[in-house]
Amino acid sequence: MEEFGSIAGLAEASDEKLSRFFGDEGYFLASLLAARRIIDAGIREAALKTPLDPLSTDFHRYLLQKLAHRREEILLGFFADDSGGFMAEAILGLGDGQGVEVSARGVLQRTVAVGASRLLLVHNHPSTSCAPSSKDLQETRKIRRMASTLGIVLLDHLIIGGRAIYSIRQGAVL
């Protein structure tokens, strides 16, 4: 346990780190990874079985489990229908430790292709600061404007930094 600091540290460790640590303990490692995948699926199911809510504790738990440990920025899109019913989740951009390039047009094309009328954007900051950059704010405003012309509602843009989550909407920027 010392290697990981806590049970939470063990649970959040990457598959690669676990493989290096446990080495030839193949059965134990396989069992641990299988258990983690079952837990992850349960967390995802709890988060997405109700109307898509950017402020939901279950949804935040899912996002932290998915993004808090990433060393590169990743932009996710969550798509919903008029009643907020979850339709799909997609990776909309992959970056490095410094940022992720986003195409507003690509984001909205994906939203239209899914048939969604609501969109929730989420990305992480590997720096562990969840404060939005000026580029985050600029791109979010651009996507919101373009989405509204298509009748699509941008519910929010959440930023994960470490174990914290910042809501651009709650920050009164949307």
Tell me yes or no: is domain 54-167 CATH 2.40.37.10.
no
Of 29-38, 83-92, 111-120, 127-136, least confident by mean pLDDT is: 29-38
pLDDT tens-place string over residues 44-95: 776 677 788 899 898 898 899 888 888 899 999 999 999 999 999 999 998 8
Q: How does DSSP assign 90-114, residue by residue? A: EEEEE-BTTB----HHHHHHHHHHH
pLDDT of amino acid 108: 97
pLDDT value at residue 139: 93
How many separate helices (H) and strands (E) can be counted in the chain? 6, 5
Q: Percent helix, strand, coil in the chain (nearest 5)?
A: 45, 20, 35
| Domain boundaries defined on the chain | 7-43, 54-167
- Site of tokens 């899109």: 77
pLDDT at 174 over 90: no
Instruction: State the chain's mean pLDDT as an integer.
Output: 86
- 172 pLDDT band, cuts 50/70/90, is low
Look at the pTM and tell me if it is higher than 0.95: no
Residue 135 CA neighbour count, 13 Å, CB half: 9
Spell out the long-range contacts of 80-84 with Cβ–Cβ below 8 A and sequence spacing 24 or more.
80/51, 80/52, 80/116, 80/117, 80/118, 80/119, 80/120, 80/155, 81/115, 81/116, 81/117, 81/118, 82/117, 82/118, 83/51, 84/51, 84/52, 84/53, 84/118
